[in-house]
Structure 1
Amino acid sequence: MLKMLIPLLLLAIGMGAGIGGGLYLRPDPPADETAPTPSAEPEPARSVGAHDSAAQARDYIKLNNQFIVPVVEGEKVMSLVVLTLGVEIPSGQKERLYLMEPKVRDVFLQELFAHANRGGFRGAFTSARNLDDLRSSLREAAQYALGDLISDILIIDIVRQDN
Structure 2
Amino acid sequence: MLKYVFPILALVIGLASGGTAAVFLSKSDDGAASEAHGASPTDQTVAKGTAEDAQQETGSLEIVKLPSQFVVPVIIDTRVRAMVILTVALEVEAGRGDLVRSLEPKLRDEFISELFGLAALDGFNDEIITRQTLELVKRALSQRSKDVLGVQNVNVLITDMARQDTF
TM-score > 0.5 by shorter chain:
yes
Larger radius of gyration: 2
Q: 2:91 aligns with which of 88, 91, 104?
A: 88
Aligned pair 1:56/2:59, yes or no? yes
- SS in structure 1 opposite 2:125? coil
Residue 20 of structure 1 is matched in structure 2 by none
1:106 and 1:150 mapped to 2: Cα distance? Answer: 20
Q: 2:157 aligns with which of 154, 157, 161?
A: 154
- SS in structure 2 opposite 1:140? helix
Query: Residues 118-138 of structure 1: CA distance to partner in whole angstroms, max 9, x if unpaired?
Result: 111111552222211110011
Name the TM-score, length of structure 2 as normaliser. 0.62
* Structure 1 stretches of at least 4 aligned residues deviating more than 6 Å after TM superposition: none
Equivalent positions of 1:70-85 (< 5 A) are 70-85=73-88
Contact 2:129/2:162 (<8 A) preserved: no
**What are structure 1's unaligned runs of at least 5 residues?**
1-43, 50-54
Aligned pair 1:117/2:125, yes or no? no
Residue 97 of structure 1 is matched in structure 2 by 100
Deviation at residue 46 of structure 1 after TM alignment: 7.8
Q: Give percent identity, aligned residues only.
A: 30
**What are structure 2's unaligned runs of at least 5 residues?**
1-51
Corresponding residue pairs, total: 115
- SS in structure 1 opposite 2:80? strand
2:102 and 2:164 mapped to 1: Cα distance? Answer: 32
Query: Residues 28-82 of structure 1: CA distance to partner in whole angstroms, max 9, x if unpaired?
Result: xxxxxxxxxxxxxxxx898386xxxxx3211112110000101111321111111
